[in-house]
Amino acid sequence: MADTSLNAAPPENAELQISGLTAGYTSVDVMRDASLAVNPGEVILLTGHNGAGKSCLVETVFGLISPTSGTVTWCGEDVTGLSPRALLQRGLVLVPQGGGVVKNLTVWENLQLIAPGLTPDRSVSANSQANQAAYSVLDRVPILAERRNQIAGSLSGGQMRLLAIARALIAQPKLLIIDEPFLGLSGTSGDLILDLFDEMLKLGDRFSVIVVEQQLFRLTGRIDRYYVMNQGQIVRNGDAEELWSLETEELWALS
């Protein structure tokens, strides 16, 4: 059964703990008293209607928005308000909604920003951790290698989203946050993202994931727990089994 309490006790081994977080884009708070926890290796779904505060929550966690109250704790350290660079150094990586690539660079140049020694023939610095991660990702997404000389801004929406997620994976995250990976994509493009998502979950040393998404059917069988936001607050949470047991009408009402 879902636990709808906003003050539910966090999991004992939570890796990420968000407690009473309040934030907004201007002087108006669009997210209030949000609490959320992620255990090591979990895939967490964050869903809710447009304007519910989902992006505000993940952007605040990642240091893009300064909270007016509340805390973000990562592996026991209070990281509230740290810069995105500082959070990246700690293993937190965000793929923002509709972003995450440098559009005027080629696909390969985008990847080289994360793994500087990367070469198409794998001849230079192939034994560095970043490059090993890059080649591992490219083996799973051959379309990026095929289009390595193409300007990123000229890719299709699905291909650009693939590139953004690939860049995030090459950074070897401990916590990967993906904001609306399927937004605005056709069925075929969405399937490309879903294939990469499935491959991502097979990687060794599995990291934790927060995926912000409204298309719940895309994630059937792929999450461990979920949180629902409405009007800036987390109003419901529970495990995946409870979520998928809901009737179709109830699922639509959540997202």
Task: Look up the CATH number of the domain holding residue 4.
Answer: 3.40.50.300
Alpha carbon of 11 to those of 6, 21, 81, 128, 249: distances in Å? 14, 17, 23, 35, 30
Q: Is 72 domain-assigned? A: yes
Q: Is 111 domain-assigned? A: no
Mean pLDDT score of the chain, rounded to an integer?
A: 84
Q: Is 109 domain-assigned? A: no
Q: Is 13 domain-assigned? A: yes
Lowest-confidence segment of 2-11, 91-100, 148-157, 198-207 by average pLDDT: 2-11
Distance from C-alpha of 4 to C-alpha of 238, rounded to nearest angstrom: 8
Q: Is 8 domain-assigned? A: yes
Q: Is 77 left (phi over 0), alpha (psi -120 to 50) or beta?
A: beta
Distance from C-alpha of 24 to C-alpha of 6, rounded to nearest angstrom: 19
Q: Is 195 domain-assigned? A: no
* 61 neighbors 18 (Cβ within 8 angstroms): yes
Q: Is 89 domain-assigned? A: no
Grouping H, G, I as helix, E, B as strand and the rest as coil, residue 148 is: coil
Query: Which has more confidence, 175 or 218?
Result: 175
Residue 129: pLDDT band with limits 50, 70, 90: low
pLDDT at 56 exceeding the cut of 90: yes
For the ranges 6-20, 83-97, 99-113, 129-143, the maximum mean pLDDT occurs at 83-97
pLDDT at 192 exceeding the cut of 50: yes
Give the HSE-up count for residue 72: Cα atoms under 13 Å, Cβ half-sphere: 21
Residue 118: pLDDT band with limits 50, 70, 90: low
Q: What is the mean pLDDT of residues 211-223?
A: 89
Lowest-confidence segment of 13-27, 92-106, 174-188, 201-215 by average pLDDT: 201-215
For residue range 133-150, list pLDDT tens digits in order: 777 777 878 888 889 889
Domain that holds residue 225: 1-82+210-255
Query: Which regions of 113-231 does DSSP assign to beta strands (E)?
Result: 175-179, 208-212, 225-230
Q: Is 135 domain-assigned? A: no
**Total domains in the fold of the chain:** 1
For residue range 19-48, list pLDDT tens digits in order: 999 999 887 899 999 999 999 989 999 999
Distance from C-alpha of 50 to C-alpha of 215, rounded to nearest angstrom: 12
pLDDT at 237 exceeding the cut of 80: yes
pLDDT at 244 exceeding the cut of 90: no
pLDDT at 8 exceeding the cut of 80: no
Contacts of 204 (CB under 8 A, 6+ apart): none
Q: What percent of the chain has pLDDT over 90?
A: 46
Grouping H, G, I as helix, E, B as strand and the rest as coil, residue 55 is: helix
Query: Which has more confidence, 206 or 242?
Result: 242
